[in-house]
Structure 1
Amino acid sequence: MDIGEYLEEELMAFIPVYLNMKGNCTAIYTYKGGEKYLEQSLRSFLNCLGRYFLMDLKESRKYYGDLLNINKLVPIPFNEENIFIPIKTRKPISRNDGALGYVNIKYIEKIEERVNGVDIFLSSNYKIRSLNSLKTVEKHINNGEIIKKFYNKKEKGIYEDIVFYDEYNKPATKGDIALLRQELLKIKETLE
């Protein structure tokens, strides 16, 4: 299955897991397709998502990290519907193991504090266990919401610029030139 199919099934979360006889793998949670396991690391899956969306993950983290004034654990907005927040889901066994999973803020139903972390309840009755505190998870969700608002404004601003240039990227008529001439003469009079 390719990345596009996971997105069509509405990707809710992906977290690192250890599977017997396979090692470091990724658990995928989709709204329509349920839970699946990939025999590739979370980092590899995340890079595939970045390539699918034609996105430089390093630059995205830098840009949105500067916006939020943080340099680690930055939410990743692939588009306005797929904004993923980092959540610590396990303790790494070895040096290169990742502990972070990513949850799409769109599918978070509620969060509940438990003894050693937080349960994040997703649509379709899935639960992700986080080792983060309730305060930390709430902070990540808030950061994701801030990025979502900023992302929507940024995309809207680009669209408005395109409409502006489309409207004014037409040949000038004699009437346009006459109006321009009148404005220039008025400016000249005020300067003299």
Structure 2
Amino acid sequence: MNAKDIIQPKVAALLPIYDRGNVTIFLTGDGEKVIIRKTCKTVLKNLARHYNVDLVAARKNCGRLLNKKLQVPIPLTSKILLIPVKFREKPLGKNDGALGYLNFFQIKEINEAKRRKCIVSFDNGVKIKVPITRETMEEYLKNARMVESIFLRDDISEHNNAVLPEERPAEIIYECICSEARNAVEAVLNETFAGIPPFR
């Protein structure tokens, strides 16, 4: 799978996991799960660079609108509005980070789960359990709707959705998981996505 194959599908989520390091699951709008061997923070920066978005300015402007400094939704395009969500309860390393990013436009519904968690269902049929309450997640969605109404109007320019030319490798993807490595992370993927077991 090359870089264009990963950039073109709709972005559903960026989720941090551990697999021979601190890596990212790129969940596409089609439900495909691709391992990117970079941190969520790095993938987010490169995704923003691809769409010519200044993350600092985006967070500042949206934070001012919401009167918030943390968990501020990040608008990248008219179809990508990323909601920062706590995904890891206990990061192993001090700088590993706990946040994942869910695309507001790909979320279908939110359901309550046990132990102050909730289940996020995407349009692609994938469900994930996140360690925050349904009420908190609904608050995040409300904030995202406000950002959408102000920063992502219907007349937004579509130039940001252009695919990178062939001669310029995309910075978003550095190393995709190979077929041999898929077996090594199968247990992680099953634990995260398949019957939605509790976090450890």
Equivalence for 1:114: 113
| Conserved? CA contact 2:31–2:124, under 8 Å | no
SS in 2 for 1:71: coil
| Conserved? CA contact 2:31–2:125, under 8 Å | no
**1:39 is the counterpart of 2:74:** no
Equivalence for 1:14: 14
- Equivalent-residue separation in structure 2 for 1:152 and 1:84 (angstroms): 12
**1:25 Cα deviation from its structure 2 partner:** 0.3
- Equivalent-residue separation in structure 1 for 2:98 and 2:82 (angstroms): 15
**1:143 is the counterpart of 2:132:** no
Equivalence for 1:62: 60
- Equivalent-residue separation in structure 1 for 2:6 and 2:141 (angstroms): 22
Q: Residue type of the partner of 1:32?
A: D
**1:156 Cα deviation from its structure 2 partner:** 4.0
Equivalence for 2:93: 94
- Equivalent-residue separation in structure 2 for 1:24 and 1:101 (angstroms): 12
SS in 1 for 2:95: coil
- Equivalent-residue separation in structure 1 for 2:7 and 2:88 (angstroms): 24
Count of residue correspondences: 154
Gaps spanning 5+ residues in structure 1: where? 159-192
Aligned Cα root-mean-square deviation (Å): 1.7
**1:80 Cα deviation from its structure 2 partner:** 1.4
**1:157 Cα deviation from its structure 2 partner:** 8.7
Scaled by the length of structure 2, the TM-score of the pair is 0.72
SS in 1 for 2:138: helix
Q: Residue type of the partner of 2:62?
A: Y
- Equivalent-residue separation in structure 2 for 1:10 and 1:112 (angstroms): 23
Equivalence for 2:133: 133
- Equivalent-residue separation in structure 2 for 1:148 and 1:77 (angstroms): 8
Q: Can you list the C-alpha shifts for 1:132-180, whole angstroms capped at 9, x where unaligned?
A: 1111100111111111111134x7499xxxxxxxxxxxxxxxxxxxxxx
Identity in percent: 29
Q: Can you list the C-alpha shifts for 1:29-72, whole angstroms capped at 9, x where unaligned?
A: 10236111111111110010111011110111011100111011
Equivalence for 1:82: 80
Q: Residue type of the partner of 1:132?
A: I
| Larger RCO (CA within 8 A; separation ≥ 6) | 2
Q: Which of the pair is proportionally richer in helix?
A: 1
Work out which of the two has the higher radius of gyration on C-alpha atoms and give 1 or 2.
1
**1:87 Cα deviation from its structure 2 partner:** 1.1
SS in 2 for 1:36: strand
Scaled by the length of structure 1, the TM-score of the pair is 0.75
Q: Residue type of the partner of 1:112?
A: N
| Conserved? CA contact 1:9–1:33, under 8 Å | no
Moved beyond 2 Å, runs of 4+:
4-7, 155-158
Q: Residue type of the partner of 2:83?
A: I
- Equivalent-residue separation in structure 1 for 2:22 and 2:152 (angstroms): 35
